[in-house]
Amino acid sequence: MKDMNDAVVRNAAIIELQQHILNAQAAQQELIKRTEELEKKIARFDAWDAEKKRYQMKDFGGGTIAYELKADEANGQPLHRICPNCYQERRLSILQPDGRNASKQEMYSCPGCNKHFKFGVAQERNLGARDSRGWT
C-alpha cells in the first residue's frame, strides 16, 4: 500500500511539474513572439531613418513646404517631392502633379493622404475664380 501511495504522490508531482513546464514554454513562446515583433519594429525605424536622410525639406514658395529627393541620393530615381504629412507619419508618398491653378501655382496631390498642395507664390487672384478641379 505504501508503494502505491508513494507512486500516486510521485505521479501527482510529475503531472504538476509537467503543467509548470508547459506554462513556462507557453510564456517563452509569447516572449519570443514579442521579441520578434519588436525587432521588426526596430528594423522599420532603422529603414525609415536611412530613407528619410535621402530627402531635404524645401520651401517651394508661398509658404508651401515639402520634402524633395536630394540629387546626390537619387540612385537612378527621378527627382521628386514627397508629402510632408506622410513624411511625419514615416511614410513615403510621392506627390503627383495636377497642373497649375489660375494663380500659376503648381498643384500637387498626395495619393497617400489625399491632401492637396499649391506650390509657388500666389499672385493676386479673383476670389470667385475656380479652376477645372474646383480649386481657387
Q: How far apart are CA 43 and CA 37, in angstroms?
A: 10
Q: Is the pLDDT of residue 8 over 90?
A: no
Q: What per-residue confidence (pLDDT) applies to 128? A: 56
Query: Taking the domains of the chain in order of start, what are their residue ranges?
Result: 1-52, 55-119
The mean pLDDT value of the chain amounts to: 87
Q: Is the pLDDT of residue 2 over 70?
A: no
104 vs 34, residue with greater confidence? 34
Give the Å distances, CA to CA, from 27 to 23, 31, 33, 87: 6, 6, 10, 37
Q: Is the pLDDT of residue 24 over 90?
A: yes
pTM summary value:
0.63
Q: Is the pLDDT of residue 125 over 50?
A: no
Q: What per-residue confidence (pLDDT) applies to 123? A: 45
* Strand-pair partners of 68: 56, 81
Task: Match 521628386 to its residue by C-alpha cell.
Answer: 80
